[in-house]
Amino acid sequence: MDGFAAGGELKALSRAASMSSLKRVLTDMLPHGIVRRIAASRERERVAARTAARAQQLRSVRQANGDQPTMPRLNMGCGTHREPGWINADAAADAEVQVMIQDGDPLPFRDGELDAVFSEHFLEHLTFTDGSYFLRESARVLKSGGTFRVSCPDLDVLTALLSSTSEKWKDLARVYESIGDFEPGTLAFPEQVLNWAFYGHAHRYHWSFRQLSAELQRLGFVDVRRMPFGTSRTEGVAIERRIPEAFYSLIVEGTKAVTRPQDRA
């Protein structure tokens, strides 16, 4: 019996090796562009299936919570800020909705499913690659005419802290001291404050208005503007809460371009 079993295993291994060899031969025979397109198509199908499954799971949670069947709004990277009527998402295990932002892992929403996407002092915790991916995913999940609003440290304000005439570094030093990062009086130089702004709290990348607005416009957002703290062109979207940090925050708002029927053709 052992001989028969061994023979069967050898045949199975031989068939597997033959199939693997045939796959390699066919791959080698096909033009590289076709192979890449097939692989890309399969990856898109996998991502779409994963997104649909996560979106359905999230809709089930919202229905179980008795949420109204209106177009939802996303508060991404919410931390402890749980905004009523919004989907409050964060990477933390105890988040209302746990969502990780990393290139290749889509937001759990269908295309055009959201009315608004908001984030406050979250974007700077992402690498440039992941931050750009978050912007791209926000464009995907927003409806035509939907609002994207982001608040993050302003790179232009931070770099100006080293100016000999600027006293804003003292204001930011007080912010860091008030939240317990440093004992009062520890930050005696603007260089200390700037370094903490870049490397403290797991900050990964800071954006300027020039770069952020260019990226949003590239993704199809229109009417991209700086906005004052607490003021929005869309009712109920200016939900930022970090008042002490408003003086060095970059608040940018854009509208996803409306797609006309002839544009879809």
CATH number of the domain that residue 236 is part of: 3.40.50.150
For helices 168-178 and 190-199, the axis angle rounded to 10 degrees is 60
pLDDT value at residue 3: 52
Answer yes or no: is 130 within a domain. yes
Alpha helices (H) along 182-247: 190-199, 209-218
Q: 3-state class of 105 per DSSP?
A: strand
Q: What's the whole-model pTM score?
A: 0.75
Evaluate whether residue 141 is within a structural domain. Answer: yes
Q: What is the pLDDT of residue 15?
A: 66
pLDDT value at residue 165: 85
Cα–Cα–Cα angle for 33, 37, 39, rounded to 5 degrees: 120
pLDDT 10s digit of each residue in the chain, 265 long? Answer: 555 455 555 565 566 556 666 666 555 665 655 655 665 555 445 544 555 555 554 554 444 445 554 689 999 999 999 999 999 999 998 899 999 998 778 999 999 999 999 999 999 999 999 999 999 999 999 999 999 999 999 999 999 999 888 899 999 999 999 999 999 999 999 999 999 999 999 999 999 999 999 999 999 999 999 999 999 999 999 999 999 999 999 999 999 998 765 555 4
Domain that holds residue 107: 98-154+206-264
Tell me, yes or no, whether 215 lies in a domain.
Answer: yes
Domain presence at residue 41: no
pLDDT at res. 13: 55
- Number of domain units in the chain: 1
Domain membership flag for residue 258: yes
68, part of any domain: no
Spatial separation of the C-alpha atoms in residues 90 and 237, rounded to whole Å: 18
Helices (H), the chain: 2-29, 32-64, 128-141, 155-159, 168-178, 190-199, 209-218, 261-264
Packed helices 128-141 and 209-218: angle between N→C axes, nearest 10 degrees: 40
Helix (H) or strand (E) holding 147: strand 142-153
What pLDDT, on a 0 to 100 scale, did the predictor assign at position 69? 44
- The reported pLDDT for the residue numbered 66 is 54
